Chains A and B, each alone.
Chain A
Amino acid sequence: MQKYSVFSLIKNAFSNHQNWEVAWKDPTPKSEYDVVIIGGGGHGLATAYYLAKEHNIRNVAIIEKGWIGGGNVGRNTTIIRSNFMYDANARFNEFGMDLWRNLSQELNFNVMFSPRGIINLAHSDAQMNAYARRGNSMRLNGIDAKLLDRDEVKKLIPMADFSDEVRFPIFGGLMQPSAGTARHDAVAWGYARQADDMGVDIIQHCEVTGFDVVNGKIKGIRTSRGDIKAKKVGLCVAGSTNILAEKLNMTLPIETHVLQACVSEPVKPLLDGVVTFGAGHFYISQSDKGEMVMGGDLDGYNSYAQRGNLPTIQHVLTGGLALFPFLSRLKMLRTWGGIMDMSMDGSPIIDKTHIEGLYLNCGWCYGGFKSTPVSGWTFAHTIAQDQVHELNSELRLNRFSTGHLLDEKGLGTKTWIG
């Protein structure tokens, strides 16, 4: 594989960039694979990459209905963080932070990981107390956390509304300085390119239509491009999880909902990291191009539409304006939607299933992008070793029936209902 570097860039400039190698091939599906990963999003591509790299399993196919990186990995707001309170979520995502820090070098693809910090704002004493508790939990798990008072927040985001008239004054906030953003497409493409180089077949425009299960054991999958035999099959399909689960006669603690995001026109740099509003559901960061990237609530009803409705955008941006009045002067460039696999406690599921050789990776809610590397890493381990890794030992499917929920927000079931 051609290595990307400043020298290869200069060399290819002489031939008007006409002679670059293709980043990944377009193979015809073979009749049999050791492992088939369904879903060519960030998590699926990362899983295939770590299967090949960490476990030397290279007879692997990724089956994607559309094109790789066309789903949620290309639709998210690129936030990367590990500011979780529960040990299971904190350890899992902090391991992921370590993978992120070295990802550009590892993949030889600039994923533009930019750790400029995340600030969760607090608007009451009670919220400050809750953040102090969460910050302490984070620090006990070795994650950097800083409780900021009002003046410290004002130094970092002076453009927020600090006047006396506001309905929800800023009391302070909890900051994770090592959190940040990355270029989401590059993550998908970087994993795809390396996986392809190690022998993984990336099969696009191929829809899974059914499964071959014999005596409780997976034998293969049926697709729009023919039947494919497989010793092991991993499901990494986010918002389409329920559709495939139905074909397997499985019911899961997952509902699929649409989540929208939006960007403004680009402006000069004014916001350094990510900021979340604590009195409504709204978060914002500024992309490297200068656009303000914003998001918030789900539309709130089951949906597979990959597009939402205006009332939700208006509601989210009302919160945005309360926090950053300057947003009223910006034109909106575009809005879009993605479909989320909302788990019933707000935490993901990476596990084996009752069908031998079938593995499940789902329930990412609104937060799948930040976990892309660690999700792939642990899912690859789970598939290769046929057992969960310590990192995902609490992210199991049976936690709902045993009562070991990871309800990070403490709201009980259906944390996503407003």
Chain B
Amino acid sequence: MLYIKCPYCGLRAQKEFSYGGDATVKRPNINEEVSSEDWDNFVYMRKSPRGKHTELWQHIAGCRQWIKVQRDTATHEIFQTAKVTEEIR
């Protein structure tokens, strides 16, 4: 079981959260011309690193907020969590 520290609610079990994928993927700017390649990169392409990964989770069975989690994809160790508006360093 992973234990994730929600920045709003504190340490909770993984079962309360749902996963939202890589948090570093940026959506192309709205109302601007987007090349097919940029859109392709945004929708489909993922680095999926082995090691530190900054990702989105939603505290779906809690405060329902989206949060950022920095986690090791090889060991599952969680280093840091933050509100979605905050940066993870």
Chain A residues at the B interface, C-beta cutoff of 8 Å? 242-243, 246, 251-256, 300-305, 309-311, 344, 400-401, 413-414, 417-418
Contacts and interface: CB of A to CB of B under 8 A. Distances in A.
A303 B73 contact: yes
B64 interface: no
B8 interface: no
A398 to B, nearest CB: 9
Contact of B53 (A302, A309, A414): A302
Interface stretch (B26-34, B43-51, B80-88): B43-51
A305 B46 contact: no
Given A251-B45, A417-B19, A305 B75 contact: yes
Given A302-B55, A303-B73, A417-B21, 10 more contacts: A242-B46, A242-B48, A251-B46, A255-B21, A300-B19, A302-B48, A305-B74, A309-B1, A400-B44, A414-B21
B54 to A, nearest CB: 11
Interface of B: 1-2, 13-15, 18-19, 21-22, 36-37, 40-41, 43-50, 53, 55, 71, 73-76
A305 B76 contact: yes
30 contacts: A242-B47, A242-B48, A242-B49, A251-B45, A253-B44, A253-B46, A254-B48, A255-B22, A255-B46, A256-B50, A256-B73, A300-B18, A302-B21, A302-B22, A302-B53, A303-B73, A303-B74, A304-B50, A305-B76, A309-B76, A344-B43, A344-B44, A400-B43, A400-B44, A401-B37, A401-B44, A413-B43, A413-B44, A414-B21, A417-B19
A252 B45 contact: yes
Contacts of A243: 50
B73 A305 contact: yes
Contacts of A310: 1
A52 to B, nearest CB: 32
Nearest to A414: B21
B46 A304 contact: no
A310 B13 CA distance: 12
A242 B51 CA distance: 12
Contacts of A256: 48, 50, 73
Contacts of A254: 46, 48
A289 B47 CA distance: 41
A256 B55 CA distance: 14
* A-B pairs with lowest CB-CB distance, top 7: A253-B44, A242-B48, A401-B40, A251-B45, A400-B44, A304-B50, A344-B44
Contacts of A301: 19, 55, 71
Greatest chain A CB density within 10 A among B22, B37, B44, B45 is at B44
B36 to A, nearest CB: 6
A15 B2 CA distance: 53
A310 B15 CA distance: 10
Contacts of A413: 43-44
Contacts of A309: 1-2, 14, 76
A373 B21 CA distance: 32
A252 B36 CA distance: 16
A305 B51 CA distance: 10
Nearest to B20: A417
Contacts of B37: 401
A36 to B, nearest CB: 22
Contacts of A303: 73-74, 76
A413 B45 CA distance: 11
Contact of A251 (B14, B43, B47): B47
A103 B17 CA distance: 45
Contacts of A246: 47, 49
A309 B76 CA distance: 10
A253 B21 CA distance: 13
Q: Which of A243, A252, A254, A304 has the most CB of B within 10 A?
A: A304
Given A300-B19, A305-B74, A255 B55 contact: no
Contacts of A418: 18
A231 B70 CA distance: 40
B11 to A, nearest CB: 16
B46 to A, nearest CB: 5
